[in-house]
Structure 1
Amino acid sequence: MPTHRSSAATTPARPLTWSAARTHPAFRQRLLVALLLLLGISYALPAFFTFVQARPGTVLPDPLLEALPAHDVSAPTFGVIYLSIAVALIYLLPRPTLLLRALWAYALLHLLRIATLWLFPLEAPAHLLVLHDPLVERFFYASQVPITKDLFFSGHTATLALLSLAVGPGRLRQVLAALTGVVAALVLVQHAHYTYDVLAAIPFAFGSYWLAGKGVSL
């Protein structure tokens, strides 16, 4: 005798709309906690980066950087980064479920990066040219000298990798993944990171996104 499955078992749950999300207690709570966590991280970062910059670290051998001439590519680097963030936000803002996961993943990514920076003190690569980020330098870096030791892992590369995951499958993910590769190459041309920092950014982005999915599913 054939069995009949209920429609609830065969029909995937629809993503929340903002009208539904506003009345969803779990969504409101998790969104508030994510925003407060990001605010707390933003408040703590200047003092943490000052600490990172002041302590001695290790110089790592990096054959790729040794073979790669250094050039200042700050303008195209942050042009790609901020354009990618803007496009991803335009996509995510009307989709509260995806946005919530992205915010939690971003907070987790920062916490992981704080942990790795604490555990692995490094000196800046040879021939480093300082990346000049007009927003971060103004609002987050309190030090009077450039911050050059926030190395392992690359936050710029990881952020774009995370955005490519956050928007879900499709053409936009492919575009953002390609731009992640562009930013990874540019920070190496700048000698702003070791090759290891850039390579490690990808699994850390995947891990943050996966953990966020486990913790904030509705």
Structure 2
Amino acid sequence: MAQPGFRNLLVLPLVLIFAGVAPAAAPFYHFIQHRAGHHLADPVLAHLPAHDVASPIFFLMYGSCIAAVAWLLGRPQLLGRGVWAYLLLQLLRMSTIWLLPLEAPAGILPFPDPFTEHVFHASTAVPITKDLFFSGHTATVVLLALAVRGRWWRALLAAIAATIGGLVLVQHVHYVYDVLGAPIFAWLAYWLAGRIWPTTAPA
């Protein structure tokens, strides 16, 4: 049985996500959507026709989340670090979005994401298209690849992350820079989580 301190350290980031970050996210993204930003020159997007690939993005993203979390549930030490990393990833992403005001890429095809719409964009009446740097979908799956163990697990999730990165470009919902930055911030969040979460913890 998990010790109380260990259990509290596991529950705390979940409380911070759903009672702290989520309520703050809706007004934050409302502000982001209505402020002026900068258009970036992106030669890749300029030569890449936009296509609606929302369904593959959705199924790859949430299929990966379900599979990886199911695997992590039996490994509370790894799960705890992953949950802390996800909290830190959200904070890092909100910070970079605030620091880098951008306009959506030309030809963007917004796609609905039920999870983010209900958890992070709950009070917004218009689609959020300026949450750009860095790609949250790509970074989340990279984070899952870091959280799991096993060469094949990690290789599979890394391949899915790369695929999602390509698909969000096809959808024109991100610049190339957003996708390239995602693994860096995912790694940073996971590294920082390792400073919070104990290296060895009772199961």
Aligned residue in 2 for 1:168: 149
Aligned residue in 1 for 2:163: 182
Aligned residue in 2 for 1:12: none
Which string of whole-angstrom CA distances, capped at 9 and with x for unpartnered residues, describes residues 52-94 of structure 1?
Answer: 0010000000000001000011111101001000100110011
**TM superposition shift of 1:29:** 2.4
The 5-angstrom pairing of residues 114-125 of structure 1 reads 114-125=94-105
1:91 aligned to 2:40? no
The 5-angstrom pairing of residues 1-218 of structure 1 reads 19=1, 21=2, 24-39=3-18, 40-141=20-121, 142-217=123-198, 218=201
- Supply the distance in 2 between the matched residues of 1:137 and 1:88 (Cα, whole angstroms): 22
3-state secondary structure, aligned to 2:44: helix
Letter in 2 for 1:158: A
3-state secondary structure, aligned to 2:81: helix
TM-score normalised over the length of structure 1 = 0.87
**TM superposition shift of 1:143:** 1.4
- Supply the distance in 2 between the matched residues of 1:212 and 1:53 (Cα, whole angstroms): 29
Aligned residue in 2 for 1:8: none
Question: Whose relative contact order is higher, 1 or 2, with alpha carbons under 8 Å and at least 6 apart?
Answer: 2
Bigger Rg, structure 1 or 2 = 1
Letter in 2 for 1:90: A
Alpha-carbon RMSD across the aligned residues, in angstroms, is 1.1
What is the aligned residue count? 197
TM-score normalised over the length of structure 2 = 0.94
- Segments of 5+ residues of structure 1 without an aligned counterpart are 1-18
Which string of whole-angstrom CA distances, capped at 9 and with x for unpartnered residues, describes residues 150-199 of structure 1?
Answer: 00010000000000100123211111110001100000000000000000
Percent identity of equivalent pairs: 52
**TM superposition shift of 1:43:** 1.5
**TM superposition shift of 1:31:** 1.3
